[in-house]
A and B are shown apart, each in its own frame.
Chain A
Amino acid sequence: MSTITLHDTHNHDDHAHGHHKETFLTKYVFSQDHKMIAKQFLITGIIMAVIAMGLSILFRLQLAWPDKSFPILETFLGRWAEGGRIRPDFYLALVTIHGTIMVFFVLTAGLSGTFSNLLIPLQIGARDMASPFLNMLSYWFFFTACVIMMSSFFIQTGPASAGWTVYPPLSALPKAIDGSGLGMTLWLVSMICFVASSLMGGINYVSTVLNMRTKGMDLWKMPLTIWAFFLTAILGILSFPVLVAGVVLLIFDRSFGTSFYLSDIVIGTQVLPNEGGSPILWQHLFWFLGHPEVYIVIMPALGISSEVISINARKPIFGYHAMIYSLIGITVLSFIVWGHHMFVTGMNPLLGGVFMITTLIIAVPSAVKTFNYLATLWRGNIRFTPAMLFAIGLVSFFISGGLTGIFLGNASLDINLHDTYFVVAHFHLVMGSAAIFGMLAGVYHWYPKMFGRMMNAKLGYLHFWVTFICAYLVFFPLHFLGLDGVPRRYYAFTEFEFMQKWVTVNIFVTWSAIIAALAQVAFLFNFFYSIFKGKKAPQNPWEANTLEWTTPVEHLHGNWPGEIPTVYRWPYDYSKPGADADFIPQTVPFSQTMSSNMPHDFEGNTEAERIQNDWNLKQQSLEKSKQD
């Protein structure tokens, strides 16, 4: 016992020592505290989300009113909207940067970066990350990536415009379109910084989860959030390097004249010297990252909603092990499905068939997760907090967007649906809306942990209902455009006769998008106002079991004053029959909950079972004698 105390004082001294030198710069800017880094990721992510949402409103205006002039646009955008109309090349830049920011900066860095950083040390019982310094570096690389990406709006030729997948040869030839000039170079540099940031973060998360869990926290006692972040980080480590490999070759093609992706190209009357390369190879390298990337986006959101749904349904999560195995299944399968993005590249139909089968198998773990959410909700004692609503919203989007994935996964259907609005509708529901709802659920749920204050629930409800309804109104109609064969990324619907009838639908969609965007003001106000003026949070506002709620509300570097708590049970003991309260934190030993222990709690420990049996018999005889 004495050794433990000694050990701990030593640790504590170290931290106290750190506090002495803390300045504004080390506390708020170059912080190495995982909680502060999480907030930095979150706030940067929110800012980027607002920017990307603004971009989407701009191109939605163009889609709804292709012939109308909005003089105010020229005031703000100048040359990009001459005569109050968005220029075609700027429209392409808008969709490209909207996609890039949303996928990488908001739903990868903003989501994983925020919640992995905040929750991994807090929920597994660690003082900080494996390498706090690398963690800090990870944020600053991310920040640099954001700045570089945004800087491309301020250059003459404008931002990258080849779509977020930057397929060569369009992206590889600086002369192909304006956006493939300096803007594309900035995109690539920004992406390298971003991947560096992601890798530093991911490597840190994996190392922390595997090496720094507190006593008693074995892998099968970890909350599902941690499992999700852990597997997400593994996905990142295994897939992002391939993107780097591809990007490096693209940079060489662009800047040094190699022909990795280029062959037989004529610009105007000029025949380019590049020969022998193949643009399809970029697609292979890109989608080898790109497909795991969509799971990097959705898995943390799934983890967060598992936790939030279980806590607010006041029920243990249904099928804890099945949840984990399905996450593992998704992780493994995600590496062998990338070809389903390439069905129309002239792929061998046999190979296409293989990719089709692996893709459709993903429906199995996804369905397991969905049914487990529903089973957890079933007959729960549900508390409809804003976080809970957003988590349920995620389940809704995951179902409605996931179903269309089965359409698209079929090679024969995909040939018709490829590159149409059907795809846009599919992924905006299943990974866009679902993931952002998971992220918002996390923000509402862990806000008290981050800022020590509560967010306003009424504004949260307003935010949820408007966003939820409008998200469906925006994305659902797009399915029908896609089924009619309307291609994505087209600038003006009035230019093609068969698309003209969809302009009215576009007007409806754009109005819905504008209302959804306005609803975010409620969130932004709530978020920033509550940091300073929100109601003070109690230590465990949601009556949850996990370790983060055993830390003091006031943050300290090292998380727990004194010893790190020991973990005795899994994190989902809600409404356990026989227990006094409807939740039993992970730190409560079974010896203190004799009335609610179940035989399977002891995991085959016969001695503990015997003691429990003796206690049960004693209780029974006591009750009997009372009755007599």
Chain B
Amino acid sequence: MVHTLKEEDVKLDSRPKKFIVWLFVVSSTIMFGGWTSYYIVFAASKGKGHGLVLPDVFMYSTGVLVASSICLFLASRALRNQELSKQKVFLWLTMLLGLTFGYLQLDAWSSLYHSGAVLVNNNAAISIIYIVSGFHLLHIFCGLCLIAATLFGAYRNISLGRLQFRMEISSIFWHFIDILWIYLYVFLLLNS
């Protein structure tokens, strides 16, 4: 009896906290919305966008990020089915793919840089590519920290309820930044 009550408590306790993550997602979306609306107004008033062919690396990195999201989804499913070792494997994979994504983004920056599209530019539409992808990378870093915390919890054998909570938080956040990147990438592709 007491045990079930405790579990209920954890559930009750985690709901508002999960909601906090959702609200963070909203406010973060709006921040990126601020930049993309800057871009739209800028492009409309100057009659020009960034005018670049975006480096292919962005395409690969998008693929990698989607793959990482799939891995994270599989990790959550493994946890739901109580397959803890499988969960750890998928979490590691997500982490690895996330790091690869980070590397690829830097690689894309360097190819942008070498093509002459540098940050300090008289076309603000080019500078803003660095801003949005840079701030997205910051989000990736935070997401990796969350996944690391989940992995850490999995190895420390924390209670199932708490592990599930961490897993859910990381999932909400990671899928969000995945979708966010797809939005930014498509936005930049369409508004060249």
Chain B residue with the shortest CB-CB distance to A2: B1
Interface mask (B22-34 → A, CB under 8 Å = 1, otherwise 0): 0110111011111
CA distance A199 to B30 in the complex (A): 12
User: Does B121 have its Cβ within 8 Å of any Cβ on chain A?
Assistant: yes
Q: Do the beta carbons of A130 and B34 come within 8 Å of each other? A: no
Query: Among the listed stretches A46-54, A239-247, A307-315, A593-601, which one makes contact with chain B, having 4 or more residues with CB under 8 Å of it?
Result: A239-247
Chain A residue with the shortest CB-CB distance to B29: A241
User: Does A212 have its Cβ within 8 Å of any Cβ on chain B?
Assistant: yes
Which size class do A's interface residues fall under? Answer: 35 or more
In the bound complex, residues from chain B placing their C-beta under 8 Å from that of A7 are 5, 8-9
Q: Do the beta carbons of B124 and A241 come within 8 Å of each other? A: no
Among B23, B120, B135, point to the contact of A237 (Cβ < 8 A): B23
User: Does B45 have its Cβ within 8 Å of any Cβ on chain A?
Assistant: yes
Q: Do the beta carbons of B30 and A241 come within 8 Å of each other? A: yes
CA distance A276 to B123 in the complex (A): 6
Chain B residue with the shortest CB-CB distance to A257: B120
Q: Do the beta carbons of A207 and B31 come within 8 Å of each other? A: no
Q: Do the beta carbons of A244 and B17 come within 8 Å of each other? A: no
Among B8, B16, B127, point to the contact of A130 (Cβ < 8 A): B16
What's the count of A-B pairs with C-beta under 8 Å? 117
Q: Do the beta carbons of B20 and A278 come within 8 Å of each other? A: no
Q: Do the beta carbons of B127 and A252 come within 8 Å of each other? A: yes
Known contacts A203-B27, A278-B45: does B16 contact A242 (CB below 8 Å)?
no
CA distance A545 to B35 in the complex (A): 46
Q: Do the beta carbons of B19 and A210 come within 8 Å of each other? A: yes
In the bound complex, residues from chain A placing their C-beta under 8 Å from that of B121 are 258-259
User: Does A211 have its Cβ within 8 Å of any Cβ on chain B?
Assistant: yes
Q: Which residue, of B15, B35, B41, has the highest number of chain A Cβ atoms within 10 A?
A: B35
User: Does A3 have its Cβ within 8 Å of any Cβ on chain B?
Assistant: yes
User: Does A344 have its Cβ within 8 Å of any Cβ on chain B?
Assistant: no
Q: Which residue, of B31, B33, B121, has the highest number of chain A Cβ atoms within 10 A?
A: B31
Which size class do B's interface residues fall under? Answer: 35 or more
Among B1, B19, B46, point to the contact of A211 (Cβ < 8 A): B19
Among A204, A238, A278, A288, point to the contact of B26 (Cβ < 8 A): A238
CA distance A248 to B132 in the complex (A): 11
Q: Do the beta carbons of A203 and B34 come within 8 Å of each other? A: no
Among A208, A245, A276, point to the contact of B46 (Cβ < 8 A): A276
User: Does A285 have its Cβ within 8 Å of any Cβ on chain B?
Assistant: yes
CA distance A242 to B27 in the complex (A): 9
In the bound complex, residues from chain B placing their C-beta under 8 Å from that of A259 are 121-122, 124, 127
User: Does A29 have its Cβ within 8 Å of any Cβ on chain B?
Assistant: no
Q: How many Å from the CB of A421 to the closest CB on chain B? A: 31
Q: Do the beta carbons of B26 and A237 come within 8 Å of each other? A: yes
In the bound complex, residues from chain B placing their C-beta under 8 Å from that of A610 are none
In the bound complex, residues from chain A placing their C-beta under 8 Å from that of B123 are 276
User: Does B189 have its Cβ within 8 Å of any Cβ on chain A?
Assistant: no
Q: Do the beta carbons of A203 and B23 come within 8 Å of each other? A: yes
CA distance A256 to B134 in the complex (A): 14
Known contacts A131-B20, A203-B23, A248-B135: does B2 contact A258 (CB below 8 Å)?
no
Q: Do the beta carbons of A6 and B23 come within 8 Å of each other? A: no
User: Does A10 have its Cβ within 8 Å of any Cβ on chain B?
Assistant: yes
Known contacts A6-B5, A237-B26, A246-B34: does B19 contact A258 (CB below 8 Å)?
no
CA distance A256 to B124 in the complex (A): 13
In the bound complex, residues from chain A placing their C-beta under 8 Å from that of B41 are 281, 284
Known contacts A245-B35, A285-B38: does B20 contact A204 (CB below 8 Å)?
yes
Interface mask (B41-54 → A, CB under 8 Å = 1, otherwise 0): 11001100000000
CA distance A134 to B17 in the complex (A): 10
User: Does B59 have its Cβ within 8 Å of any Cβ on chain A?
Assistant: no
User: Does A552 have its Cβ within 8 Å of any Cβ on chain B?
Assistant: no
Residues facing A in B59-75 (CB within 8 A) are none
Q: Do the beta carbons of A245 and B34 come within 8 Å of each other? A: yes
Q: Do the beta carbons of B122 and A211 come within 8 Å of each other? A: no
Q: Do the beta carbons of A237 and B127 come within 8 Å of each other? A: no
Q: How many Å from the CB of B143 to the closest CB on chain A? A: 18
User: Does B128 have its Cβ within 8 Å of any Cβ on chain A?
Assistant: yes
Among A11, A211, A241, A275, point to the contact of B28 (Cβ < 8 A): A241
Q: Do the beta carbons of B20 and A260 come within 8 Å of each other? A: no
Chain B residue with the shortest CB-CB distance to A236: B27
CA distance A425 to B93 in the complex (A): 61
Q: Do the beta carbons of A256 and B119 come within 8 Å of each other? A: yes
User: Does B131 have its Cβ within 8 Å of any Cβ on chain A?
Assistant: yes
Q: Do the beta carbons of A130 and B120 come within 8 Å of each other? A: no
Q: Do the beta carbons of B15 and A238 come within 8 Å of each other? A: no
User: Does B6 have its Cβ within 8 Å of any Cβ on chain A?
Assistant: yes
User: Does A366 have its Cβ within 8 Å of any Cβ on chain B?
Assistant: no
User: What are 18 A-B pairs at a CB distance below 8 A?
Assistant: A3-B5, A6-B5, A7-B9, A130-B19, A131-B16, A131-B17, A199-B24, A199-B27, A204-B20, A206-B23, A207-B23, A237-B23, A240-B27, A249-B128, A259-B124, A260-B38, A273-B122, A284-B38
A-B CB proximity, top 3 nearest: A245-B34, A130-B16, A241-B31
B-binding residues in A (CB < 8 A): 3, 6-7, 10-11, 130-131, 134, 199, 202-204, 206-208, 210-212, 237-242, 244-246, 248-249, 252, 256-260, 273-278, 281, 284-285, 288
Instruction: Name 7 extra pairs, CB < 8 A, besides A6-B5, A278-B46.
Output: A7-B5, A7-B9, A130-B17, A131-B17, A203-B23, A248-B135, A259-B124
